[in-house]
Amino acid sequence: MDLEELSREILTCTKCPLHKYRTHAVPGEGSMKLGIMMVGEAPGADEDRTGRPFVGAAGRLLTETLARLGVSRDDVYITNVVKCRPPNNRTPTREEVEACLPYLLRQIELLRPRRIVALGLTSAKTLLSLVGKRVEKIGDVRGRCFRGRVAGVEVEICVTYHPAAVLRNPRLKEEFMGDLATFLGGGLERFF
């Protein structure tokens, strides 16, 4: 199975009740030009409507931040742990995460990223659990990277805030930008 076949499978998935509420499943998009995968929590309303990840307000912040670092969003692969929007943008349940996890693992196996940027707590909990690290609070792991093997791929998992959290609390913006600058190999001088 290649990435295109996997995406088609995700688009027709009925493994959990979220498929009943979706307009579109959101497999992910981008490339591995930089060897980086970015993983959020789940699609929001704009993503559900378009079938594309991170295209709403949080997506615009992510895209703008990447651009300020000289990175096109097309040069990284962007996806979510859960591929369908939970009702009212609630946090995905453990069962929903478990239903979608095989898709994320297969994406990692196919794309073979050298680094995965976990955007937010759900993504951090899910990805770091795969390398034996338990996470309760984003503050315990934000700004840090952890090495491990996921889906047969030796990878570095780096954690920062979800862009939606930054929009809700602008005081997080500097840390978010600094984390991405570090994780993507840029420098903070590009921001200031």
87 Cβ contact list (under 8 Å, min separation 6): 21
Q: What is the pTM of this model?
A: 0.95
Tens of pLDDT, residues 36-95: 999 999 999 999 999 999 999 999 999 999 999 999 999 999 999 999 999 999 999 999
pLDDT bin (cut points 50, 70, 90) of residue 33 is very high
Tens of pLDDT, residues 99-158: 999 999 999 999 999 999 999 999 999 999 999 999 999 999 999 999 999 999 999 999
- Alpha-helical (H) ranges within 36-120 are 45-50, 57-68, 94-111
**SS3 call for 83:** coil
For 115, phi and psi rounded to 5 degrees? Answer: -140, 140
Say yes or no to pLDDT of 1 above 80.
Answer: no
Which DSSP letter does residue 90 get? Answer: P
162 Cβ contact list (under 8 Å, min separation 6): 40, 41, 58, 119, 120, 121, 123
10's tokens: 């995700």
Where do the domains of the chain lie, and which CATH numbers do they carry? 3-187 (3.40.470.10)
